[in-house]
Amino acid sequence: MFALKHVNYQNILRYPDMTIPAGVTTCICGESGSGKSTLLKLLNGVISPTEGEITYSNQTLEAYDPILLRREVLLVSQSVYLFDKSIKDNFNEYYAYRNIDALCEAGMNRYLDICSVSLPLTSMCHVLSGGERQRVFIAINLSYQPKVLMLDEPTSALDDKNATALIEHVKAYCNENQITLIIVSHDKAIAEKYADNIIELAGGVKE
C-alpha cells in the first residue's frame, strides 16, 4: 500500500526503504526520536520529505490532492483535541468541519463502544480523564471510515486492560472493513501481540 524510497526528512531523519502492506495491521516501533510520528505525518502528506519518494497505491503522494489524501489516510495524532462541549457536540463539530452530515446517535455510540467508551453522549469532554479523551478522539476518527487508519501512541494514556481492549476492538473493526491499520507504539508487547507486520525504526537511522 505504501512504499518508501530513500526518504529523508530535513536531513535529520533518514528512513530505510520499506513497504507497508494493505489490509493488515502494521506496528511501527522504535525509541523516541527515531522518527515514528514524523513517518506517519509523511504518509498522510501533512509534511513532505526533503528527499526521496513515497508512493501510496502505486502512485506518488504528490499526485494526490492533499486534502483527499488526508481523509483517506487518516492520522490520529498523539495530542488529542476535543472542543469544550459534549461528546455528541464534538462529533457534530468535527463532522461540520469536514462538511459531512452529522452522524446519528446510534452511530456515535457504535464507534464509542468499539473504543470502549461507556459514557453518555451528553458527557462534557473537558471533565473527562486523559484516557477517556483519547478514546473519544479515536472513536470520532474511526467513524470517518478511512481506508488507512494511523494511530500515534493510541494507548499512551491508558492502563494495560483498557489498552488491550481498545487495540483488539479497533483491529477487529479494521479487519472487518478492510481498513489498513498502522500503529505507532513504543510498547513492544502491543506490537508483538497485534501486529501482522512490524517495522522497527532504529535510533541509528538518525544522523
Partner 1 sequence: MNDIISLNIGQFALIYLLLLVVLSVMKKCRINQTKLLVVASVRMTVQLVLAGLILTYIFDNPHPVFTVLYILIMTGFACYMAIRRNKTINRNFKWIVAASLSASGIAIVCFFIMAVVGVSIFNPQYTIPISGMIMGNAMTGVSLGIKTFHENIHSQRARIDALVNMGVTPPRILTPFANQAIETALLPTLNSMLGMGIISLPGMMTGQILSGTLPMTAILYQIAIIIAISAVTCLSVFCALFFGYRTLYNKRNQIII
Please say which residue, 75 or 174, places its beta carbon nearer to partner 1. 75
Q: With binding defined as CB under 8 A, does residue 147 bind partner 1?
A: no
Which residues are within 8 A (CB) of 51 and not within 5 positions of it... i.e. 6 or more apart? 6, 7, 8
**Angle at Cα 59 formed by Cα 55 and Cα 63, nearest 5°?**
105
The verdict on 59 binding partner 1 (CB under 8 A) reads no
Q: Does 98 bind partner 1 (CB under 8 A)?
A: yes
66 binds partner 1 (CB under 8 A): yes
Judged by CB under 8 A, the stretch of 8-16, 27-35, 92-100, 103-111 that binds partner 1 is: 92-100
Q: Are strands 25-30 and 18-20 parallel, antiparallel or unpaired?
A: unpaired
Q: How far is the CB of 96 from partner 1 (least distance, A)?
A: 10
The interface region with partner 1, picked from 104-112, 137-145, 157-165, 185-193 by CB under 8 A, is 137-145
* SS3 at position 205: helix
β-pair type (180-184, 25-30) = parallel
Residue 68 binds to partner 1 (criterion: CB under 8 A): yes
47 binds partner 1 (CB under 8 A): yes
Rounded-to-integer distance, Cα 159 and Cα 11, Å: 36
**Shortest spacing between CB 58 and partner 1, in angstroms:** 20
Q: Own/partner pairs for 98-102, CB < 8 Å, 24+ apart?
A: 98/71, 98/144
Residue 180 lies near partner 1 (rule: CB under 8 A):
no
Q: Does 183 bind partner 1 (CB under 8 A)?
A: no
**Total residues at the site for partner 1 (CB under 8 A)?**
25
Check the CA dihedral 84-71-140-104 and report its sign.
positive
| Side-chain half-sphere CA neighbours of 38 within 13 A | 20
Q: Which residues bind partner 1 (CB under 8 A)?
A: 44-48, 66-72, 74-77, 79-81, 94, 97-98, 137, 141, 144
